[in-house]
Amino acid sequence: MSIAEIKKNAEQKMLKSIEAFKNELAKIRTGRAHPGILDQVQVDYYGSLVPISQVANVSLIDARNISVQPWEKGMAAKIEKAIRESDLGLNPSTQGDLIRVPMPPLTEERRKELTKVVKNAGEDAKIAVRNLRRDANEHAKRLLKDKEITEDEDRRSQDDVQKLTDKTIAEIDKLVASKEAEVLAV
């Protein structure tokens, strides 16, 4: 593995970490409706658990309501039960074959809890990025030990990986600040 491959590999993995962090943030609800909130809810579909999006059409009615339109008539009760039993704290109601999921407004206490959750998720993402930096530097050290690169190349590699790490962590900090502002907005 060359220095360029090490850097490229580290950069790709750091970008994946940011994407995973963005997906994690999307799951944290802010009082506004978002169809992605229901992505983690699993429904029993003929004996196997599948995401709601595979058995129904999930869309927004307005800023505070999500509609779930099952593709099969008998699925409405199962979907409603799955949403109610999820850890999202939602209370769906069925109207014919349409399920409405109103988003309850957040209390001040819950908002503060959510900011802590956002900060913890951000810290976990930063730890993952730092681990990627360590792995990339270890690869470069191994190449140096095997005399495949010079000490100058190793130093340059470490500097480049550090710059990439700093850039990625700054991006994570921006995402955390943005999500915190969204959570605390009334």
Does residue 186 surpass a pLDDT of 70? no
pLDDT of residue 123: 94
Phi-psi region at 110: left, alpha or beta (left = phi > 0; alpha = psi -120 to 50) = alpha
Integer Cα distance of 177 and 167 in angstroms: 15
Q: What is the pLDDT of residue 137?
A: 92
For residue 87, report the phi and psi dihedrals to the nearest 5 degrees.
-85, 20
Residue with tokens 């039993």: 85
> Under a CB-based contact definition with an 8 Å cutoff, are residues 3 and 153 in contact?
yes
User: Looking at residue 171, what is its pLDDT?
Assistant: 95
- Band of pLDDT at residue 33, cut at 50, 70 and 90: confident
Q: How confident is the model at residue 31 (pLDDT cuts 50, 70, 90)?
A: low
Positive or negative torsion for Cα 126, 127, 133, 135: negative
| Span 78-100, pLDDT tens digits | 888 888 887 777 888 888 888 88
Question: What is the pTM for the complete model shown?
Answer: 0.68
Q: What's the pLDDT tens digit per position in 101-120?
A: 888 777 788 788 888 888 98
